[in-house]
Chain A
Amino acid sequence: MADLQFGDARPDAEEIQIVDSFVSETAVVREGERVVRGGVTRRREQRHLLLPGLHLLQNSQGWISPGGLNYLAEVLQVPPAEAYGVATFYDLFATEKPSIPGPQHHICVDAACAMAGSADLLSKIQATGQRVHESPCLGQCERAPAMFIQEVGAPDRVPADADGFSHPQRGDSSLRLLRRFGVADPLSIDSYTSNGGYDALGLALNIGTEAVLSTLEASGLSGRGGAAFPTGTKWRAVAEENSSSKHVVANADESEPGTFKDRLIMENDPFAVIEAMTIAGVTTGSERGWIYIRGEYPLATHRLNHAIQSARASGYLGSKIAGSEYSFDIEVRRGAGAYICGEETALFNSIEGQRGEPRSKPPFPTTSGLFGEPTVINNPETLINVLEILNSGVDAYRSLGTKRSPGTKLFCLSGHIRFPGLYEIPFGVSLGELLQIAGGVVGDLQAILMGGAAGRFVGPEKLDLPLTLEDAAANETTLGSGALMVFSNEVNMLDVTRRLAQFFRDESCGQCVPCRIGTVRQHEVLLQINAKGPDQTQRELLDDISAVMGDASICGLGHTAASAIQSALDLGLLPSGAP
């Protein structure tokens, strides 16, 4: 922390008002003319307000001006160069005044939306003289093409949210995780409790933390974000940490192209996420909960905030929750357009008001997570599984799925499929069966991208693949986040892989050399490939790039930045090329 210098740029009255009304306690406090309270600790404690402060400035001005940034930085005692470094990290923040006034339209140009005509939508809006931004996946693949709008002084919005939610599995009584979708009112805590809500918390308080941990371990639940780490192990590790401050973080920065399950969970069953986080708090001895939700999810953010207020009002959050001796509360943090912030340590940095760059692991979050303190981090799908396990018991939970992949799994189907949308199926259903449940492929199946941009392509020959963790691994693919993007024969896969490469080039945080430059070189080679496909030099170069990114990058983004492209090459989805 520093004896900071702030430049000459001064804020305008509105910027001052915005910042002052947001920051209730400044990092430096004058106690009369001769006493000033400040210091390193206070500055550290205020730093996490940087990201929400930048959101407010962006929203009020349409950009983050030097004066506004200076003022926010001064109030929080953040070095302005660092605040600028943070502001320039995110797509949703502008640090130059927009040349065209009016709303900014973010239009998804990733595969599912491209197939659904996002280019047309984009040029249509552009033709009216309005601002458009070619956006990475907006998590609305089931209703492509997707759009998200930022407007000065108005809440961020997704036009399609007005259409309401249509649930392809509506009325299916076998649903577990999605049982309240379309049944309970997501804005009513009474509706939630009358549909089984907060039973699990009551049970958890009743049986005690050790029983919750052993139940979770016995259930075999593993993380649904892609890495499939055993949830019980993670929770126990945090529970056993001796620290006066621990955290529970919901990783709701769902940004994997083709993935929208967590958005739908938060929009349709927000209390479930909160209840599960509360159980995590009680079980691991953490009193602070955080939901890091992607900035492009305004409806989910609204409903979560509403649910948190209701839960607080009903005594389910705050001190002595549900009449127990435990305290737990939750803050919501909005991301601002950065795929990398879905990586757990980048997410921590983002909440802390730092650039969303991943940290080196070890240490792992269970020992050194948010603010360097022990942290449980799970995504919403993983969290709501906990409720299911506690409510129905381990045996019932394990009665579905396989021994190594127990329970059910959510899949996000998009692209050339008859009924795109969110599906809950027991682990073990085959890929082909799932496609049939979703109405079947539109056109002739060319390939399926499993697990999003970080996943791998499979061809029609894999339709018999049972959708389990073990079968995916054995077949050198991944379930990843549960995204299944379907491509018919009409799709030019060279275009798809170029877009994938562009996605990683745009989303690399830039911290490590293999990913910062490798994603660029990979994209360049793909752009240079002609209709005949890669020649030998190009293929070797792509392989070398893949190797260094996979082996030597810091985090999962770099590790997987070539995997889909490599699988496309291996499957012959691109022209085979000159010898």
Chain B
Amino acid sequence: MKEQGDSQVSVHINGIKVSVEEGTTLLQAANSAGIEIPTLCWAENLTPANACRLCVVEQQGSRTLVSSCSRVCEDGAQVLTDTDRVHRSRKMVLEFLASSNDLSQSPDLVAWSKMYDVDTERYKAPAKIEDQIKIEDDLFVRAYDRCVLCYKCVEACGDDAQHTFAIAIAGRGFDARVSTEYEVPLPESACVYCGNCVGVCPTNALQFKTEFDLRDANDWRPSEQTVTETVCSYCGVGCSLELHTQDNHIVKVTSPSDHSVTSGHLCIKGRFGWQYVHAPEFKPREAP
């Protein structure tokens, strides 16, 4: 078995002493103590990108705030997660995003914006992230006006999971975008349509075509959907699937990010190969 670090460290978070294994992040330590910290670019199946800065906390001795998702607990550290200073930074991050992006399909961000008293009215004619929606195939769509550049899709496409590297961040600063080389359409890129980028997107900038079409038809009803865990049939690896169904119809497939087999990632067959379940009959393609 993998060697487990057996040394423990203690940190004080909001005055609560938390003992954790060495290497644990402040975020994990806080969560284990029941303290919630908002995160956007963090995911348990990805390397911390450190990009959104929503999870910043105050650590005694640090000149600036520190991102709790990546900062490892140092023994004896004194950490505060809910000071005015922390509150101000989180509010500003949320304001910046709300003033730049369409966040309407990100329930978490909408809720936090309320919680942190976000006021976008004070920004006059702010520059926005604007982009045409990209519908290039039957499997998923890209709407980058919702993209908050959290890097999750790039990491999932890259060396955190898929190692396909069809997309990367291109450009710089406010003009930075998730892009293929020279912005070629996805079907011309290296993309293998595993959909792992869609699986990790927190703002629905990337979404499955099934969801997009249902939303377009005003028929996307998350509250009426059920999720059933099962196992993919397309090879012998045993990937855990979560089938999201609405009206006895599969509308989306995900995988639990804490599952030892998949870490939440799937391949094109597992992600999209379910459609035959609803086919009235087997229709082989016509010879060309």
Contact = CB atoms under 8 A, between A and B. Distances in A.
A315 B70 CA distance: 45
Interface in B101-130: 122-127
Nearest to B69: A360
B181 to A, nearest CB: 4
B56 interface: yes
Contact of A528 (B48, B96, B124, B169): B124
Interface string B175-188: 11001111010001
Interface string A515-540: 01111110010001000000001001
Interface string B154-183: 000011000111111111111110011110
B181 A66 contact: yes
Chief secondary structure at chain B's binding surface: loop
B102 to A, nearest CB: 15
Contacts of B89: 514, 547-548, 551-552
B63 to A, nearest CB: 8
Nearest to B166: A81
B96 A514 contact: yes
A507 B179 contact: no
Contacts of A505: 173-174
Given A66-B182, A79-B190, A338-B172, A551 B56 contact: yes
A9 B188 CA distance: 11
B97 A7 contact: no
A488 to B, nearest CB: 32
A81 B163 contact: no
Q: What is the size category of the interface that chain A forms with chain B?
A: 35 or more
A550 interface: yes
Contacts, number: 176
B70 A360 contact: yes
Given A1-B163, A505-B173, A552 B93 contact: yes
A547 B126 CA distance: 19
Most buried by A among B172, B176, B180: B172
B182 A521 contact: no
Contact of A88 (B92, B165, B171): B171
A508 B173 contact: yes
A83 B190 CA distance: 13
Contacts of A88: 170-172
Contacts of B158: 79, 82
Most buried by B among A4, A507, A514: A514
A35 to B, nearest CB: 23
A554 B50 contact: yes
A356 to B, nearest CB: 9
Contacts of B92: 514, 518, 544-545, 547-548, 552
A58 B221 CA distance: 51
Interface string A49-91: 0000000000000000010011000000001111111001100
B50 A84 contact: no
Contacts of B48: 360
Contact of B179 (A81, A360, A511): A81
A193 B54 CA distance: 55
B85 A520 contact: no
A540 B122 CA distance: 10
A84 B174 contact: no
Nearest to B52: A513
Interface in B173-212: 173-176, 179-182, 184, 188-190
B142 interface: no
A509 B67 CA distance: 18
Contacts of A521: 96, 99, 123, 126
B271 interface: no
A551 B64 CA distance: 5
Contacts of A237: none
Nearest to B95: A544
B73 interface: no
Contacts of B53: 512-514, 552-554
Contacts of B126: 520-521, 524
Contacts of A510: 149, 169, 171-176
A559 interface: yes
Contacts of A89: 170-172
A445 interface: no
Interface string B61-97: 0001101001110000000000001001100110011
A551 B89 CA distance: 7
A25 to B, nearest CB: 22
B181 A7 contact: yes
B148 A2 contact: no
A401 to B, nearest CB: 25
Contacts of A66: 181-182
B255 interface: no
B1 to A, nearest CB: 25
Nearest to A90: B172
A180 interface: no
Nearest to A547: B88
A140 B278 CA distance: 69
A506 interface: yes
A528 B123 CA distance: 10
A5 interface: yes
A512 B179 contact: no
Contact of B181 (A83, A362, A544): A83
Nearest to B53: A552
Contact of A84 (B64, B93, B148, B179): B179
A506 B173 contact: yes
Most buried by B among A8, A544, A559: A544
Contact of B88 (A70, A80, A544): A544
Given A79-B190, A514-B89, A507 B173 contact: yes
B174 A81 contact: no
B159 to A, nearest CB: 8
A508 B108 CA distance: 27
Shortest 4 CB-CB distances between A and B: which pairs?
Answer: A79-B165, A510-B176, A5-B190, A548-B92
Interface of A: 1-5, 7-9, 66, 69-70, 79-85, 88-89, 95, 338, 355, 360, 362, 505-514, 516-521, 524, 528, 537, 540-541, 544-545, 547-548, 550-554, 559
Given A81-B170, A524-B126, 6 more contacts: A81-B165, A85-B168, A85-B169, A506-B173, A514-B93, A517-B100
7 contacts: A5-B190, A7-B181, A360-B50, A508-B174, A524-B123, A544-B88, A547-B92
